[in-house]
Structure 1
Amino acid sequence: MNSNLPVQATVVTICPMTPDTSMVTLRTEVSHPVAASFLPGQFLELSIPGVGEIPISYCGLPSSDGSIELCIRHVGHVTTALKSVVTGAAVAVRGPFGRGFPLSRYAGQDLLLIAGGLGMAPLRSLLLALLKQRKAWGRLLVLYGAREIRALLFANELMELQSCGEIELQLTVDHREKCLDGPPGCRVALLPALLEHLVVDPERTCAAICGPPVVYPYLLTGLRQLGLSDKRIYLSLERRMKCGIGRCGHCAVGTLLCCVDGPVFSGAELAGVEGALV
């Protein structure tokens, strides 16, 4: 099947997660690669008839029944319009697109997942894939930061995985609301601060990062101070993408196109690429 061509999907559920973010479940009518054959870190193009099309990273695992999980922040005209879409409505999807996280390179390694804000959505897809083959990896460490407690995504799910011993988890928020209690152990600090006292084996640890680009240079500095080489650090540059197939040039960073060459790159690939980490 041609992944460039849209296929119809039905809205199964739209569940609010935070004041501006929803978990959306779609289902395609037929078995299609857009639902069944993607890697964590890849994305699809979602279109609402008469409104427009946007790239969205996968949030769940591939499925054989055509279901697709997406975590969507309602900020643009397409994602805002999605809030008004009713269950059972028809939308269109095409994909999967881009280059995801290289699971084969992680075999036998400790994995450090670092998410900021909405970046937890694509890293959830990676985490679920890692948990599906839990014995293939070493330690699974998750560092997750958001601007405030109510902006933390999947916090209960992450804490349950921690309590079961599946992952090691650290949470932080930029500031704590006076009327809200955060998850146990949640710190008030910027995300890079979680690296300051972390103990890892740099020779057997790979890091995966997804979050606001402004924090990437600080995370890279922190990881390098822990002894990780740039080839062991993978970052998702899922910003500015539009067409998904490298035609519009909207997502160009230096000579790279995020939608085709990425959105996942190693730190070594981005070294010296002007504008990649700002």
Structure 2
Amino acid sequence: MTCSCESGHNHNQVNPYVPYRMKIKDVIIENPEKDLKTFILNFLNPEEEKSFTYIPGQFAEVSVFGVGEAPFGIASSPTEKGVVSFTVKKLGQVTSSLHMLEKGDVIGLRGPLGNSWPIEKLVNKNLVIISGGFAFTTLRSFLYYALDPENRKLFKNITVVYGARNPDQLLYKAELSEWSKRDDLDLKLTIDRGVEGWNGIVGFVPAVTEQVVKEASNTVALVCGPPVMIKFTIPVLKKIGFTPDDIYTSLEMKMKCGIGMCGRCNIGSKFVCKDGPVFSLKELEELPAEY
């Protein structure tokens, strides 16, 4: 499988600065605080829909007209035809404006941008997918892709460790429930501290990873979460026996303009938006420790 987007922009889009017009098909509120929402978008132009091809792990710039744009990892999978989804936490001006929009409203989308999870390197491997909080978006994209009937046979055992502060903060609850019933996926959900009514695992993601993952041979780890989670998970993976070549992480939180123009996402010689957001640990170990 070849990635047509190594250079960090979509060759199909005539002008990378001009957004596609997207209609909000649905808005899913992900938590009681209502500050996490998933926006499911349709293309207004069917021709543009055909030309928009992406790979799990890529991101896009979402714009609220008259307010601005912000980068988000694509949460949907290319196997979900006709829709593109993003899960957005309400933090700043753009995200707050986005959160005020409703079904039927029109917004902009530029992309896809950046590189992807290294799918060709994952074929015939066991996979360990590790995530925390609302960083689960592009891993949801990959999981959805990997579990598609056409693709599931490409990968061996899939183990997922996904944690949040409390059960309310876990994203995609309906899907997690479905995935937990599958026999071709080992899903471990964990929360930081026990609460009434929670019968699952209690503990921080790095500790749970150490309990659950026993074997690193023929296995690749995909890690995406808050920086502190990544920081404490990497040593655990190394201890289990993973090499820096077999650990991939996404530096989504470093994203800015998406096409290497603004210079605000660089780490050493790399631009996260053009060379990333996905990097192997081997690549990151050769860069200044800014992530």
TM range (shorter): over 0.9
Amino acid at match of 1:28: F
Which residue in the other structure is 1:14 paired with? 27
Q: 1:88 to 1:247 in 2, by over 3 A?
A: same
Which residue in the other structure is 2:97 paired with? 81
Q: 1:166 to 1:36 in 2, by over 3 A?
A: farther
Aligned partner of 2:163 among 129, 145, 160: 145
Q: 1:63 to 1:11 in 2, by over 3 A?
A: farther
Q: Which moved more, 1:167-176 or 1:14-23?
A: 167-176
Q: Which moved more, 1:218-227 or 1:1-10?
A: 1-10
Structure 2 distance, partners of 1:35, 1:76, is 31
Structure 1 distance, partners of 2:280, 2:101, is 37
Aligned partner of 1:61 among 41, 52, 77: 77
Q: 1:195 to 1:71 in 2, by over 3 A?
A: same
Structure 1 distance, partners of 2:260, 2:157, is 36
Corresponding residue SS for 1:197: helix
Instruction: Report % sequence identity.
Output: 33
Structure 2 distance, partners of 1:197, 1:47, is 42
Amino acid at match of 2:134: L
Contact 1:149-1:176 within 8 A present in 2 as well: no
- Output the TM-score relative to the length of structure 1: 0.92
Structure 1 distance, partners of 2:200, 2:193, is 14
Contact 2:251-2:272 within 8 A present in 1 as well: yes
Q: Which moved more, 1:104-113 or 1:54-63?
A: 54-63
Structure 1 distance, partners of 2:50, 2:246, is 28
- Output the TM-score relative to the length of structure 2: 0.88
Map of 1:202-213 to 2, 5 A cutoff?
Answer: 202-213=216-227
Which residue in the other structure is 1:166 paired with? 184
CA shift at 1:261, angstroms?
A: 0.4
Corresponding residue SS for 1:239: helix
Map of 1:68-107 to 2, 5 A cutoff?
Answer: 68-107=84-123
Structure 2 distance, partners of 1:101, 1:74, is 26
Q: Does 1:257 align with 2:271?
A: yes
Which residue in the other structure is 1:125 paired with? 141
Contact 1:44-1:58 within 8 A present in 2 as well: yes
In the TM superposition, what whole-angstrom CA distance separates every residue of 1:247-276 from its partner, at most 9, and x where no partner exists?
Answer: 101111222111110000000000132234
Aligned partner of 1:222 among 225, 236, 243: 236
Aligned partner of 1:185 among 194, 200, 222: 200
Q: Does 1:275 align with 2:282?
A: no
Contact 1:33-1:95 within 8 A present in 2 as well: no
CA shift at 1:190, angstroms?
A: 1.3
Structure 2 distance, partners of 1:108, 1:197, is 24
CA shift at 1:216, angstroms?
A: 1.6
CA shift at 1:33, angstroms?
A: 6.3
Contact 1:35-1:68 within 8 A present in 2 as well: no
Structure 2 distance, partners of 1:223, 1:98, is 25
Which residue in the other structure is 1:198 paired with? 212
Structure 1 distance, partners of 2:63, 2:274, is 19
Q: State the number of aligned residues.
A: 273
Structure 2 distance, partners of 1:71, 1:204, is 32
Contact 1:35-1:63 within 8 A present in 2 as well: no
Structure 1 distance, partners of 2:81, 2:98, is 23
Q: Which moved more, 1:104-113 or 1:146-155?
A: 146-155
Q: Does 1:136 align with 2:154?
A: yes
Superposition CA RMSD, Å: 1.8
Q: 1:149 to 1:34 in 2, by over 3 A?
A: farther
Corresponding residue SS for 1:215: helix
In the TM superposition, what whole-angstrom CA distance separates every residue of 1:34-65 from its partner, at most 9, and x where no partner exists?
Answer: 98411111001000011110001111112685
In the TM superposition, what whole-angstrom CA distance separates every residue of 1:64-101 from its partner, at most 9, and x where no partner exists?
Answer: 85421111111111111112112211111110000110
Structure 2, unaligned stretches of length 5 or more?
1-11
Q: 1:44 to 1:110 in 2, by over 3 A?
A: same
Which residue in the other structure is 2:43 paired with? 28
CA shift at 1:159, angstroms?
A: 3.4
Amino acid at match of 2:85: E
